[in-house]
Amino acid sequence: MWRVILERLRQKHRTHGYPAEAPVMPGRFQGRPVVDNNTVAGAEGPVACCPTAALAIGPDHRLRLDAGKCLFCGECTKACGQHGVRFTQEHRLAAARREDLVIKGGEEHLADALNKEAARLFGRSLKLRQVSAGGCNACEADTNVLNTLVFDLGRFGIQFVASPRHADGLLVTGPVTKNMELALRKTYEAVPSPKIVIAVGACAISGGLFAGHDETFRGVGDILPVDLFIPGCPPHPWTILDGLLRVLGKLR
C-alpha cells in the first residue's frame, strides 16, 4: 500500500487545465491552414504538388484549400515559399458542415452546437462507439489518447463504450473500405435513435489518400449522415477534443 501511495505522490496531478487553460501546441505542429486572398499567379506549382488535390483554384480564380482532404504534409508551403498557403498553430478545425471545411481567403467556420434537443440529450453524457473503417491507426491512436489522464475525456461526460447498443453515436475513422461497409452500416443501425455520427481524419471525411480507389468509399459521408467533421492526418488530440466539446455546446 505504501508503494502505491508513494508512486501516486511521485506521479503528481497530470490532467491538463483545458478548456480554462489553452493547450500549448508543439513547435512543429501544422494547424489550421491560411490561404491568401489574392494570390493566383504561380499557384500551379503548389496545386500540382498536393497529393490529395485538397488545394485548388476555385471558380473565383482564388486559391482554396479543402481541410477535409488536407494531409497537413506541408508540400504546398514548400512549393509556394509561404506565399499562398501557410499553416498556423491553431488547433481548432472541426466543422459541422462539410462545405465549412473549405478554406478560402481568411474565412473561418467552427462547428456550432448541435440543435438544442441534441444538446439537452447528449450535453451531459455522450457515449460513443468507435469504428475503425480501414483506418491506419493514427486517428485511432490520437482518439484513444483522450482517455488518458492528461486529457481525461471522462470529466466532460464523454466515454467510449464497448457496444453500439450502449452508444449515443459513432466516431468513425478510416476511408470506409468495401470490406467494412456492412459492419459500419450494422453498427449504425444498432445505435438507438437519436444518434450522431462523427468523422475523424482526412480519410473518414473525404477518403483522403485513398479517395477514388475501387476498394474504398470517399469517407463516412458516402454511407451515413455525418454531424461533425474533424480534419487532420491525424487530427491532434486537442483538435478532436475541441470538436467533441463544440458539438455538445460546451465551448463557444
Partner 1 sequence: MAGAVELLWATTSVMARLEETGVVSQADAISIGLVGPAARACGLSRDVRNDFPSGIYRYANIPPASWHSGDVFARAFVRWVESQRSIAFIREQLGTLPTGAVAVASGRIAPDAMAVSLVEGWRGEICHVALTDSNGRFEHYKVSDPSFHNWYGLALALRNQQISDFPLCNKSFNLSYCGHDL
Q: Which stretch, 3-11, 34-42, 89-97, 235-243, contacts partner 1 (CB under 8 A)? A: 3-11
Q: Which of 52, 132, 216, 239 is close enough to bind partner 1 by CB under 8 A?
A: 132
Q: Closest Cα to residue 247, out of 232, 229, 223?
A: 229
The minimum distance between CB 3 and partner 1, in angstroms, equals 6
- Subset of residues 186 to 245 that bind partner 1, contact rule: CB under 8 A: none
Long-range CB pairs of 63-66, under 8 A, 24+ apart, other chains included? 63/35, 63/36, 63/39, 63/105, 64/35, 64/102, 64/103, 64/104, 65/33, 65/35, 65/102, 65/103, 66/101, 66/102, 66/103, 66/206
49 by Cβ neighbours in 10 Å (0-12 / 13-18 / 19+) ranks as middle
Strands 169-173 and 228-230: unpaired
Question: Judged by CB under 8 A, does residue 28 bind partner 1?
Answer: no
Binding mask 169-188 for partner 1 (x = CB under 8 A): -----x--x-xx--x-----
Per-residue burial over 2-40, b if 16 or more Cβ lie within 10 Å, else e, is: eeeeeeeeeeeeeebebeeeebebeeebbbbbbbbeebe
Residue 133 CB, shortest distance to partner 1, in Å, is: 6
Cβ at position 136, least distance to partner 1 in Å: 10
Q: Shortest Cβ distance from residue 213 to partner 1 (Å)?
A: 10
Number of residues that bind partner 1 (CB under 8 A): 15
What 3-state DSSP class applies to 202? helix
Among 33, 135, 164, 232, binds partner 1 (CB under 8 A): 135
- Site membership for partner 1, residue 4 (CB under 8 A): yes
Closest to partner 1 by CB, 110 or 190: 190
Closest CB 135 distance from partner 1, rounded Å: 7
CB of 152 to partner 1, least distance (A): 16
89 binds partner 1 (CB under 8 A): no
Sequence-ordered list of residues with C-beta below 8 angstroms from that of 167, at least 6 positions apart, any chain? 127, 128, 129, 161, 191, 195
Q: Is 11 in the site for partner 1 (CB under 8 A)?
A: yes
Binding residues vs partner 1 (CB under 8 A): 3-4, 7, 10-11, 132-135, 137, 174, 177, 179-180, 183
